[in-house]
Structure 1
Amino acid sequence: MRILLTGSNGLLGQKLTDFLLLRDDITLLCTSRGENRNPQQAGYTFQKLDLADWEGMQQLIQSFAPTHIIHCAAISSVERCEADPDQAQLINVTIPQQLAELAHLQGIHYTFLSTDFVFDGKQGPYQESDSTGPCNAYGASKVKAEQAILAVNPQAAILRTILVYGVIGDKGRSNLVLWAKGKLEQKEAIKVVADQWRMPTWVDDLAQACILAADKKAEGIFHISGPQLYSIIEVVELVADYWQLDKKLISPILAAEIGQDTNRPRKTGFILDKAHQVLGFKPTSLTASFEQIDIQLKKLQQHA
């Protein structure tokens, strides 16, 4: 397998790189807009490339001749997609469609990452066949991308996911779990949304799901997330419980108080049967993932 991985500087991109390097049957080419931020820099090729440089991307694909493309790069900020719709259209829709079409023409398997924000949050948890109805520009761009990709490449795999968290070697990347842990360790009071529900996804699980999709040359849409639905404040309270931090520092806030009642889905969550049956995907529970995260953090401290 020759895998081209875009967005390799992101949380998922760095985790995928680390996992793919454990395999001796894979040649890996990583690409991102900035310099390589993964502390692990051996065993693969890194090419700095702006996604908007379509000519550069085509040349890269031609010279590397991948058997698989895993496309992680995206603008995932709700606010940025709102503020710059043209850029959101280019990065989140046009380029993923162009890549999907090129992959189809050249017989390259294509995996695309999408989001629970394709849903409005009124009927969660969702299965893959449920109708979409995004409540923000980011979700809308992902719906458009999914439709555009499957129109030009029915063999593509689309992996939707939810609230990804976890640990990588690059300390510059944060997420809900690390943010909450860090703030509470500093004895800082934090306000956390109490009226939004998600099934948080451990980045290690999501990376494994991407690899399963590539190995099996999976086709169609798959829901990939953790196994349990929690309110966001419950996740943070579980962080406090696991690392024995002061829960009194956590106070609830409503989505409406921070302007997130209409532009974020209230309750998402996924039905994971298809991913389980077709991919063999087995998600890790939140608390079991915390055990692994603790081990990973300790290892990073030893190597620091």
Structure 2
Amino acid sequence: MQNQRTRLLLQRVGGNIREYEHVLSRLSMLLGIQHTPIPLEVLEALSHDPASVMSGTRRLKSWRAIEDICDRIARQRETLRSFATSITHEEAPSGTADIFDGPVFSLSSSLDQLEHHRQRLAQEAEKVLQTLAHVKETHSTVKKQYNDVTAHTSLIYPQLSHVVALEESYRNKYKQFWDLGLDALTLLLDTVTPVWRNYGKVIGEDVQDFFIIPWYRNEFTGEQKRYPITSLPRRSVRHWFGLLLFFTILLGVTALQIGGAVSSTLNYNLPWITHTGFRWLFTPFFTILLFIQWTVVLLECCIVLAVLCVVFWWLGWAVKIFS
């Protein structure tokens, strides 16, 4: 039983050494380095049990069989001892470099550079912390002096308190106006983008059939012959109702925009601002808003006029006034 365990152990060790030798040979070939393989007799000596009974041993009898086994054991020991001695006294080739020297050196250099950068960042962070502490101290000092000066001048010149209150009030109103403009722009983008994604194709077809084809009939065909219009473009009842609702809403919005633009023009001098300096301060902004408002009004009026022209043209075509 002990001999069988030893035999299995030797076979397992020999197999592992063969796999290691195969991997090492492939790796040496890929890296282009020199490799001295383990001799074949050493691998065979590691893989086989010299005390096992073989075919040659069966032909021998009595003491000759034992002597043959002892000879094989001696040869195995001598082979392994010679190989171990050659490994011990073998000098490594001077031109062969360790395959891990390059990657290890590169990794060490990268780590050194990272450490250098870390130290420099730590120094910069320390400087920033010192600067922030100095700024905080200066801010506290200046704020205290400002509050003292404000309290002192407020007793002597009460008008300054009124000016500061007006400044805060107009600043809050300006911030509210700015937030309202941003909210309006966000609402407009959030509303227009889905509508155009869903109804852009329908709007394009309506503009083509009702407006572009009657106006550019020669250019639409690309020939001298005019594009024939034989019938009114077909649309569903729901579609006609949507067009009517759109035109009604457009008229209402245009009327409100005209009213708002006229009201803003009449109040161009900003009568609700009592302070003359602040009135002159807000006049340029109000002028720009008024110009934008009148531009929107003109654009909406052009759209309404275009829609009315389209409606009148198709009515004239229906009664054979236009062909």
Structures share fold, TM-score greater than 0.5 = no
**Higher RCO, Cα 8 Å, sep 6+:** 1
Tell me which protein shows more helix as a share of its residues: 2
Determine which structure has more spread, i.e. the larger CA radius of gyration. Answer: 2
Tell me which protein shows more strand as a share of its residues: 1
TM-score by length of 1: 0.17
